[in-house]
Chains A and B, each alone.
Chain A
Amino acid sequence: DIQMTQVPSSVSASVGDRVTITCRASQGISDSLAWFQQKPGEAPKSLIYSASSLITGVPSRFSGSGSGTDFTLTISSLQPEDVATYYCQQYKNYPLTFGGGTKVEIK
């Protein structure tokens, strides 16, 4: 199975700050990577697919980049409603696998 490793596991930042989350795959996955946002007690919400393509309706402050094994999710200006846990997921190989999550909080 492809292992997905996210760093950091948690981040605390001020409103308006730039936040970057990194996801590393244990082997190359091309751009077969998605990002999800999950708020406490809620279902995940899809943000990005194909490493950098924004799902319709997702605010433009979210962006993704990377290819191969290293990927990033960036929130350009952190907002209070962005408090959540963020997960990456690879869909290059079966089984699809998720990263361990990054909890984003407001300082």
Chain B
Amino acid sequence: QVQLVQSGAEVKKPGASVKVACKTSGYKFTSYSIHWVRQAPGQRPEWMGWFNGGDGDRKYAQNFQGRVAITRDTSASTVYMELSRLRSEDTAVYYCASGVGLRVAYWGQGTLVAVSS
């Protein structure tokens, strides 16, 4: 079955960067897309960007332009999301989610990123 397993919780200081991993299994890695969504405490989910597995294209939300990068290691069936210049407002649970194109069907378990001095 399809599984998305994310890396563990992180605590970072303001100004630092964080890189979250999403290891996939149970499907053909290059056929599916991976989205990154974050959710601050008590807030609605917020879409950050996606990696189009079909053509390798990436698209980022304007709110994160210049701070976020999504990369893929095909040999490890893993997609990474790196967020730089962290600030306290970036404290949230970060999710990867997979599907066909822009449609999401499967979710990772989430990774808590806490930003605190």
**B-binding residues in A (CB < 8 A):** 32, 34, 36, 43-46, 49-50, 55, 87, 89, 91, 94-101
Contacts and interface: CB of A to CB of B under 8 A. Distances in A.
Contacts of A32: 102
B53 to A, nearest CB: 15
B14 interface: no
A98 B95 CA distance: 14
B27 interface: no
A31 to B, nearest CB: 11
The interface residues of chain B, by DSSP majority, are classed as: mixed
A96 B105 contact: no
A61 to B, nearest CB: 19
Interface string B27-71: 000000001010000001111000000000001011100000000
Nearest to B103: A49
Interface string B61-90: 111000000000000000000000000000
Contacts, number: 52
Nearest to A50: B103
A99 B107 contact: no
Interface residues of B, number: 22
Given A43-B109, A46-B106, A96-B102, A87 B63 contact: no
Contacts of A50: 103
Nearest to A49: B103
A89 B102 CA distance: 11
B61 A44 contact: no
A102 B63 CA distance: 25
A46 B45 contact: no
16 contacts: A34-B104, A36-B45, A43-B108, A43-B110, A44-B95, A44-B97, A44-B107, A46-B105, A46-B107, A49-B105, A50-B103, A87-B45, A89-B104, A96-B61, A98-B46, A101-B44
